Amino acid sequence: MIGYTSPSKSFDPVEELPSMAGKVIIVTGSSSGIGFASLQHLCRMGAKVYMATPDEDRTQEALKRVEQEGREPGLGQVLWHELELSDPRSAKASAERFMARETKLDVLSIRVYFSTFIGAHQRRVVNNAALITDLGKPRLNADGIQDNMAINYLGPYVFTKTLLPLLETTASDGNDVRIVNVGSAGHKDVKFLEYGSKEAWNYKFKWSLLPSLNRYKYSKLAPGAILSDGAIRSLQTLPFPRFWIFLMGLMMYPQTLGAHTSVFAACNTKDSPHIFHGAHIWPPNVSAKQDPKALDENKQTELVEFTEKLLEELGI
């Protein structure tokens, strides 16, 4: 949903978007990076925001940072919700715990952008748990799935699917309920687009200079040039990390600006020409034409069918 174009430096979500007071929002991967910046904006707009992350210690540090940097003017609430996306079973259990905890969900935000509608009602979700794991050293989870695919696709798929009944119930009361998936423009460069087997999911991209970057793009069809906390951690795994961080710092924008597009997608009114079913929103907060690869219905069907088959085999 965010591409290589520049975010607007003059845009202020708190001043220019509607109040989110009374809204319940989940932001995945929000203890750092663009997810954290998105959560800050939403909290300052008055929302009750769940920081969905796996690590309680890191989350407590992030919660302290929220208080230190301020929740004004909206004085929203930030709560931790445990979410481990590397294991689809944990992702499902987390969603079930959330449904026992809350009676509504207005916005869900996850890594890979789409905005869709439930009947006549728009549903909101923002997902930010994207991962570039160990550049050059891919890892497999307990189910034999490469971590990038597990965390960037399969976990969010299960988490979102399990939460759909709650989203639908919230929308049935006339609420504007939205799912926002925050993705990468890197998918435009991916040539390998097979999704119908576990072997395809674990494709090694062995002829690439930085194979893990290609795995990352592959797993995240659909933030811009943003030097986020996560980007810095990934660059630190490369040879000469200070050089790469310095170089990227010359070309990229801070994560506070990088969060503008996902917050715009989650909060702007649905009468906006840029907020519609399937909108692909880029900086500076405008809908853009999708890359044809992301609109290939045969590939979409192949991916969903294999995903459901795999989940059935895993007993999920």
Q: Determine which of 15-24, 35-44, 222-231 has the lowest per-residue pLDDT on average.
A: 222-231
72 versus 135: which is more confidently predicted?
72
Does 236 fall in a domain?
no
Does 228 fall in a domain?
no
Report d(CA 242, CA 290) in Å as an integer. Answer: 35
pLDDT score of 72 more than 90: yes
Give me the number of domains the chain comprises.
1
Report d(CA 101, CA 280) in Å as an integer. Answer: 31
pLDDT score of 92 more than 80: yes
CATH of the domain at 140: 3.40.50.720
Do 164 and 241 form a contact (C-beta atoms < 8 A)?
no
The identity of residue 11, as a single letter, is F
pLDDT of residue 46: 97
Do 38 and 226 form a contact (C-beta atoms < 8 A)?
no
pLDDT of residue 133: 47
pLDDT score of 27 more than 70: yes
Residue ranges with strand state E in 169-242: 178-181, 226-227
Report d(CA 41, CA 11) in Å as an integer. Answer: 12
By CB neighbour count within 10 A (0-12 exposed, 13-18 middle, 19+ buried), where does 104 fall? Answer: middle
Residue of 34, 100, 108 lying closest to 256 (CA atoms): 34
The identity of residue 48, as a single letter, is K
Does 160 fall in a domain?
yes
Do 7 and 202 form a contact (C-beta atoms < 8 A)?
no
Report d(CA 180, CA 113) in Å as an integer. Answer: 5
Name the DSSP letter for residue 186: G
Does 1 fall in a domain?
no
Share of the chain above pLDDT 90, in %: 35
Does 47 fall in a domain?
yes
Does 114 fall in a domain?
yes
Does 246 fall in a domain?
no
pLDDT of residue 132: 47
**Mean pLDDT to the nearest integer, 140-163:** 89
25 pLDDT band (50/70/90 cuts)? Answer: very high
Report d(CA 126, CA 180) in Å as an integer. Answer: 4
Report d(CA 257, CA 12) in Å as an integer. Answer: 9
Report d(CA 159, CA 90) in Å as an integer. Answer: 9
Residue of 96, 86, 107, 146 lying closest to 24 (CA atoms): 107
Report d(CA 288, CA 268) in Å as an integer. Answer: 16
Length of the chain counted residue by residue: 316
Does 284 fall in a domain?
yes
265 pLDDT band (50/70/90 cuts)? Answer: confident
pLDDT of residue 157: 92
Which stretches within 130-181 are classed as H helix?
147-149, 155-172
- H or E segment to which residue 117 belongs: strand 116-118
Phi, psi values for residue 174, rounded to 5°: 90, 10
pLDDT score of 16 more than 60: yes
Residue 37's domain spans which residues?
13-222+255-313
